[in-house]
Amino acid sequence: MQEHLVVTINGTQFLAEPGQNLLDLINTTGEFVPQICYNESLGPIQTCDTCMVEVNGEITRACGTTIDRPMEVRTNLSDVEAAQKEALDRILKNHELYCTVCDYNNGNCEIHNTVAEFGLEHQSYPFEEKPYEIDNSGPFYRYDPDQCILCGRCVEVCQDIEVNETLLIDWNREKPRVIWDNDVPIDQSSCVGCGQCVTVCPCNALMEKSMLRETGYMTDHEPGILRSMIELTKTAETGYEPLYAISDTEASMRDDRIKKTKTVCTYCGVGCSFDVWTKDRKIIRVLPQKDSPANGISTCVKGKFGWDYVNSEERLTKPLIRKGDQFEEVEWPVALEYVAKRFNDIKAAHGPDALGFISSSKATNEESYLMQKLARQVIGTNNVDNCSRYCQSPATKGLFRTVGHGGDSGSIDDIAAADLVIIIGSNTAESHPVIASRIKRSQKLFGQKVFVFDLRKHEMAERADRFISPKSGTDLVWLSAVAKYIIDNGWEKKEFIDEWVNDFAAYKESLNKFTMEYAEKVTGIPQETLKEVAKEIVNSDKVAICWAMGVTQHQLGSDTSTAISNLLLLTGNYMRPGTGAYPLRGHNNVQGCSDFGSMPNYFPGYEEVTNDETRKRYEKAWNTELPAEPGKDNHEMMHAIHEGTLRGLFVIGEDTGVVDSNINYVTAAFEKLDFFVVQDLFFTKTAQYADVILPASPSLEKEGTFTNTERRIQRLYQALEPLGDSKPDWQILQAIANEMGYEWSYKHPSEIMDEAAKLAPLFAGVSYDLLEGYQSLQWPVAADGNDMPLLYTDGFPFEDNKARFYKLDFELLYDTDNEYDLHVNNGRILEHFHEGNMTYKSKGISRKTPNAFIEISPELAKERGVQEGAEIKLTSHVGEVTGIAHITDRVSGKELFIPLNDNGKTAINNLTDNRVDKDTNTPSYKEVAVKMEVIKKKGKSPLPPNNHRRGNRQPQIGVRVDDKWKRNDYIFPGSKVKQRG
């Protein structure tokens, strides 16, 4: 235990932790000290000077004071208050107060609230305009220099929280302002549109464009009139107090028209949560909270601004039934009766296993639960799966083999706390932006080391302390060689292994093959480099390994994931904070969709369907007999359709005909189906093959829970009514079950969760009460409601409480050859998601990134004589794509890259084939060899000039407040007070 220090504040004694921030302490005591630039999530910035206090007789900034000795603090002396007032006056010189007609006056304007609470009555320095125009150039937010108080929060968040390093304040100008990159308009900068600057801005200087002229009762006016109203407001107000009275009243009236609803993001697996502000059906603001458990105040462009799809005119609003060569809109009873009848017919004629069910990783846990219940209870088949088959099943497999839980070992906080983060096959900055930001911050500010193993020099690779590029599909080899080298040198964590891990001897023997020479030959990584990596891993106290599709979407995806876990066990990097395995989950609820039983071999909570005891539990609860054999996974379902054994298919929220591998084969299967039901928001490519299309509602229109990559279960609340006749998936599933003669009677998703929690021990203590608001639970959740943010702290979930090493072999199964001589890598880009059905509906996103493209290395471009904008055709063994070339050194040599976000002629899955991971049937999307044909040698670049990738980042630490203090016109408010005194 550290000793506490005594801090006396206005005569009352408080105990403080050494190293605690003084302002933090004061804020816990109920004493009021004005503060504008200070924000708990950002830490002290020290630009606004309003938190002046007297410490041991000296006037100083409370936020800039670390408690390192006993202190006598006074916050209410007249000198102190005079200094605070001086600082507030300086802020109001930079900020015109016209609250009542300001769109930011929603009760949470920090300038308004601070000035009002301080009781400032009159302005000592008149407001001064700055000689700059409003910057309206970007698609998502605008900057008004005249309202900017130069607190630097936006710079702090951009430099050190998001770490995109776009914003700075130029303190050297006569009138400082925030600038983007090297002083270019927002739209031309490296800004990725994460919106965090807007989120933390304490006033209306940075505002979401969707807020402008929307929030207030008197803000919806033409700019000229608004200006006049501002002038009138100022003339009419002789002091601030009447202004506050009026604007506070108006602000509280706004609550009546603006609804604020907590929700969880529906894009990637980070699981950001935030309040979404809606006015009727308009989505005007997304506001993450400091208590958002996964993300704090952070978001990426998709979560902050990518919601246009919800109100898209392309949304399905009525059920559709195929009749002849067209779909016809019908009412719900007609559609439900038809679906029930056809399911029953197929079941009667061909048995329950002639039907297959594919759940959606976009839908909620409760909906995954009902989908598998529909398959198992109502139909009587285990043919139920979800899209984790396309991505992270191999990681789950690798973890089940070694440590026993198929999820991240810890939380995002643990990744941030690691001494060394190894990222393998993950472009984290684009695929999991908010997690990437935590890593970038730890690396930038706290000395965390980052090693990246990837083919492509993406942002994380550029930032890495080491960027190593092994030959595609050979990660297993270098991981095993490093493990062998560690053992050969006796560096393994012997005590940890003795106590916690089985099968060391067999594992050690299995590594014989993986010599340094062999690894160098197979992976192309020099032996010296591998040896250095081994040493660094051993010398780092806490190692976390993050991986994604670059590992799993290979024929040896499960084995490679296993090799990662083996290495972590060998070096004792489990069971402690800051360590562990982090297979970064791709979709908002890809974790939860598997967790809640949409798997052919598992009931909810990963209990085998073959286990009699488990099955009996469900049979009793559901009052029916259940099939004992595992069903077919997605991939096997497609084969079974071609074979004629699977005749009916029900797909929820998944554009299978675009996102499955070898889509020619998949869509050919769809054509062979007797009956095909697709449930989606949009009329997708897959839906074109359907017999019935059911209109579903997106996350904002329903309640439920999602589980993020940290195993964190979070609630979403309903912000909008379902559009048209669309319905939440759980209601549709219930209606189908009831139409088929069952009596499901869930009135609310919480009742579905209660049932799942009662049946699956992994979720025993989960209940909606414990998930209220921003509360969350990380499974496993014990019956008493205790959850487990860090796994394995008491051992591993096997009978003897010990983990296991798992033996592996390696054989190179994929390579390019003389004819198909180029390797096609593929993956996500930041601003689009999956096949793009949602993100292409966003005008702002599409303006900057209108379509997919094909990245080509400068050397290959030279060799083949292609230039930027060339049109090229790529042909693999199974299909072809055409697309526009973008020449970049992110790729090298004979490697190409295609963003997977396209559903047209550049859709990557025209090229991928039927090869799969041998253990999980996950398609080996990353093993594509092609030949290239040039259709047109040059053309218009597929990347618009305002794409952020063309920007020019300006890294620095924070806002550089020292530069402000060095200015000739800067006088410390404390000393100014003393002068006057």
Partner 1 sequence: MAEPITKIKRLEVSKEALEQQDLQEINHAVIENKEAILQGIDLLASLHEKGFLELGSAVVRHKEDALANVLRIFENPKYASIVSNLSKLVVLLGELKVDELKYLLDKLNSGLQEAAVTDDSVKTSYFDLIKAVNNPDINRSLTMLLAFLKGMGR
Chain residues that interact with partner 1, rule: CB under 8 A: 221-222, 224-225, 228-229, 231-232, 235-239, 242, 318, 320, 322-323, 325-331, 667, 670-673, 676, 683, 685, 688-691
Longest dimension (CA), the chain: 96
Q: How far is the CB of 307 from partner 1 (least distance, A)?
A: 25
Cβ-based nearer residue to partner 1, 314 or 819: 314
Nearer to partner 1 among residue 121 and residue 933 (C-beta): 121
Pair 118, 84: CB distance under 8 Å: yes
- Closest contact distance (angstroms) between CB of 147 and partner 1 is 21
Of residues 221 and 449, the one with the C-beta less far from partner 1: 221
Report the first-to-last Cα separation within the chain, whole angstroms. 44
CB of 250 to partner 1, least distance (A): 16
User: What is the distance between the alpha carbons of residues 572 and 499, in angstroms, rounded to a whole number?
Assistant: 11
Using the minimum distance from each CB to partner 1, give the nearer residue, 328 or 528: 328
Helix (H, G, I), strand (E, B) or coil at 569: helix
Distances 367 to 269, 564, 656, 742, 863 between C-alpha atoms, Å = 17, 32, 18, 17, 52
Backbone angles phi, psi at 378, to 5 degrees: -80, -45
Least CB distance to partner 1 at residue 644 (A): 12
User: Angle between the 110-118 and 78-93 helix axes, to the nearest 10 degrees?
Assistant: 150
- Cα separations (Å) of 783 from 46, 757, 759, 770, 796? 47, 9, 12, 12, 19
Give the residue with the Cβ less far from partner 1, 356 or 410: 356
What is the secondary structure of 229-264 as a DSSP string?
Answer: HHHHHHHH-SSHHHHHHHHHHHHHHHTTT-EEEEEE
Q: Which residues contact 818 (CB under 8 A, 6 or more apart)?
A: none
Which lies closer to partner 1 via its Cβ, residue 576 or residue 685? 685
Of the pair 222, 613, the CB lying nearest partner 1 is at 222
CB of 871 to partner 1, least distance (A): 26
- Residue 265 vs residues 299, 302, 361, 366: alpha-carbon distances, Å: 9, 9, 12, 17
Helix (H) or strand (E) holding 7: strand 5-9
- In the complex with partner 1, the residue whose CB is nearer, 212 or 861, is 212
SS3 129: coil
Please say which residue, 238 or 611, places its beta carbon nearer to partner 1. 238
Six-digit token string for 617: 């539990």
Q: How far is the CB of 730 from partner 1 (least distance, A)?
A: 24
In contact, 585 and 392? CB cutoff 8 Å: yes
Nearer to partner 1, 224 or 447 (CB): 224
Query: Whole-number minimum distance, CB 836 to partner 1, in Å?
Result: 18
Tell me which DSSP letter residue 906 carries.
T
For the chain, the helix, strand and coil percentages under 3-state DSSP, each to the nearest 5 = 35, 20, 45
**SS3 assignment, position 208:** strand
Buried b / exposed e along 95-123 (16+ C-beta atoms within 10 A): bbbbbbbbbbbbeebbbbbbbbebebeeb
Q: Are strands 822-827 and 607-608 parallel, antiparallel or unpaired?
A: unpaired
* Closer Cβ to partner 1, 24 or 345, answer by number: 345
By C-beta, is 529 or 688 nearer to partner 1?
688
Pairing of strands 648-652, 675-680: parallel
Q: How far is the CB of 345 from partner 1 (least distance, A)?
A: 16
Q: Residue 262 CB, nearest distance to partner 1 (Å)?
A: 31
Q: How far is CA 81 from CA 77, 126, 265, 826, in A?
A: 6, 20, 43, 60
Q: Which is nearer to partner 1, 283 or 336 (CB)?
A: 336
The amino acid sitting at 201 is C
Nearer to partner 1, 180 or 689 (CB): 689
Q: What is the Cα–Cα distance from 680 to 262, expressed in whole angstroms? A: 23
Nearest distance in Å: CB 665, partner 1? 15
Tell the smallest beta-carbon distance from residue 322 to partner 1 (Å).
Answer: 7
The three-state secondary structure class of 151 is coil
CA distance 167 to 180: 5
Identity of the residue, 547 or 676, whose beta carbon is nearer to partner 1 in the bound complex: 676
* Rounded least distance, CB 133 to partner 1, Å: 23
DSSP state of 554: S
Q: How far is the CB of 672 from partner 1 (least distance, A)?
A: 7
> What is the three-class DSSP state of 863?
helix
Q: CB of residue 686 vs partner 1: minimum separation in angstroms?
A: 9
Closest by CA position to 678, among listed 335, 931, 368: 335
Q: How far is the CB of 326 from partner 1 (least distance, A)?
A: 4
Q: What angle do CA 432, 433, 435 make, to 5 degrees?
A: 70
Closest CA to 149 of 203, 185, 199: 203
Please say whether the beta carbons of 890 and 817 come within 8 A: no
For partner 1, which is the closer residue by CB, 325 or 613? 325
Positive or negative: CA dihedral 311, 313, 314, 315:
positive
**Count of beta carbons in the 10 Å neighbourhood of residue 79:** 16
Q: Report, in Å, the least distance between residue 687 CB and partner 1.
A: 9
Contacts of 40 by beta carbon, 8 Å cutoff, 6+ apart: 24, 290
